[in-house]
Amino acid sequence: MSEFKLEAIKCKNCGSGLMVELNDLVTYCTNCGSGFEILGGEMKPIEINFASPARPAEGDIVYKPFWILKANVTILERTATGGFLKNLFGGNDGSGGKIKFYIPAFRMPVDNLREMASAFTIKDPVPSPQKFNVKVTGFTYDREDALKIAEFLLISFEAEKSDTMKTFRYEINVDSYEILGIPFYKQSNGNLRDAIIGLSI
């Protein structure tokens, strides 16, 4: 009969114990501010920062993880035209540009995920993230999931134009993957309301 043992996960930089929930794909050291992505059983460094609350509300604050994909999008072909992508890329000719995708890394209903990812990506509301000594867990989606959701967002942005989309080809080249802890108010009814834009899940 084979044996197995549980080992405490420690920060590779300071040796402190790390808070890891079942199926977490990323962990954060509240002692030294180091982030680690768990890939193939190995802990790889990843940048993790936090946003400060911008909206007051009732309830205790908890931090939930978002993937930040800093990417360059190239529109290769589009047979239907409209204005949304021009606005998304800062009013250019619609051929693409740099964009920062905000992708929730924790589980929520699909409609809420799309609404939250869309609103944060369009508004890019966190100008100066910083290190906090706070707990952040619940990393359900890995970087591959985040990229798939970003592609879904891009297609849905285009599909929502007033005209009919016939052909849409694109490339997304991700320059960097980071994690951002977004503050949420835990409300008495069990819902979470983000402290940046004010959306509820």
Least confident of 38-47, 118-127, 172-181: 38-47
Name the phi and psi angles at 42, rounded to 5.
Answer: -105, 150
Give residue 59's pLDDT: 92
**CA dihedral of 44, 45, 46, 47, whole degrees rounded to 10:** 170
pLDDT tens by residue, 141-184: 999 999 999 999 888 877 666 555 567 778 999 999 999 999 99
Per-residue confidence band for 87, with pLDDT thresholds at 50, 70 and 90: low
More confident residue, 184 or 90: 184
Domain-located, residue 10: no
Q: Which domain range does residue 169 map to?
A: 26-187
With CA atoms as reference, report the closest residue to 66 among 159, 145, 6: 145
Domain-located, residue 123: yes
Tokens (6 digits) for 77: 């072909």
CA angle 104, 190, 24 (to 5 degrees): 40
Domain-located, residue 174: yes
**CA dihedral of 10, 11, 16, 19, whole degrees rounded to 10:** -70
Tokens (6 digits) for 121: 């990506």
DSSP assignment, residue 123? H
Domain-located, residue 14: no
User: How many distinct structural domains can be found in the chain?
Assistant: 1
Domain-located, residue 118: yes
More confident residue, 89 or 168: 168
In this structure, the chain runs to a length of 201
Domain-located, residue 20: no
Domain-located, residue 15: no
Give residue 165's pLDDT: 55
Domain-located, residue 17: no
pLDDT tens by residue, 16-25: 988 777 778 8
Ramachandran sector of residue 137 (left: φ over 0; alpha: ψ -120 to 50; beta: rest):
beta
pLDDT tens by residue, 97-119: 889 999 999 999 999 999 999 99
The predicted model scores a pTM of 0.85
